[in-house]
Amino acid sequence: MINNMHQLLIATHNTDKLSEIQQILQGSMWQTADLSEFQYYPPPIENGSTLAQNALIKAREGFNRTGLLTLADDTGLEIDGLEGDPGVFSARYAGENATYDMNCRKVLMELDAINSTKRTARFRTVMALIGSEIEHCWEGVCEGMITREPSGNSGFGYDPIFWSIELKRTFSEVTPLEKNRVSHRGRALRKLMAYLMEAELPDLLRV
């Protein structure tokens, strides 16, 4: 069991998301732990109807299983032409075992099928933090557009079809540093870290 005072568990089974969060946290006072360090940790059932509910489910599970201050996020892509879909179902939009490419292709097909000119969209992340004396969420939003075809070779998820208004490129066409500076996940996590900078650590870390 990890018991360093400044351990922060990142409760995700998505290795791409884990890597991105670790990049954003690099240089902070917190040393991250991840679920691979625990022998048996099946993913909890994410049956919430909102991003916040799912983020809290994952963070609570991490804290209850490990006793470590735990963060978890849930992220959705909201497309205006699809009335906010895929939203909370973004990770499994094309099915329970959908790949990133399958999800992207379904979005592009649906936008084409309805002949929509409303390709405006946003990534929304809710970051949850659970400890002995804290249960709180922070939100980060990034506005953009859905492209007509994938573009770029980096990133993950819907990054190849999400064109950032601020960067003027898709998330897959920029470096991780550029993406993290404006991304939904980066914004939510920086809010969380600002809180931790002001928090009383003994209270947060007491099991």
Tokens 């002949």 sit on residue: 115
3-class DSSP state of 167: coil
* Token digits of residue 179: 């993406």
The Cα-based distances of 16 to 88, 119, 146 in angstroms read 18, 26, 21
State the amino acid at position 157 in one-letter form: G
CA-CA distance, 12 to 17, in Å (whole number)? 7
CA-CA distance, 113 to 17, in Å (whole number)? 30
One of 74, 80, 101, 112 is an active-site residue; which one?
Answer: 74
CA-CA distance, 115 to 192, in Å (whole number)? 39
3-class DSSP state of 169: coil
CA-CA distance, 110 to 162, in Å (whole number)? 15
Beta strands 162-164 and 134-146: pairing type?
antiparallel
CA-CA distance, 117 to 15, in Å (whole number)? 34
Assess whether 101 carries a catalytic annotation. no
Give me the active site residues, please. Answer: 74
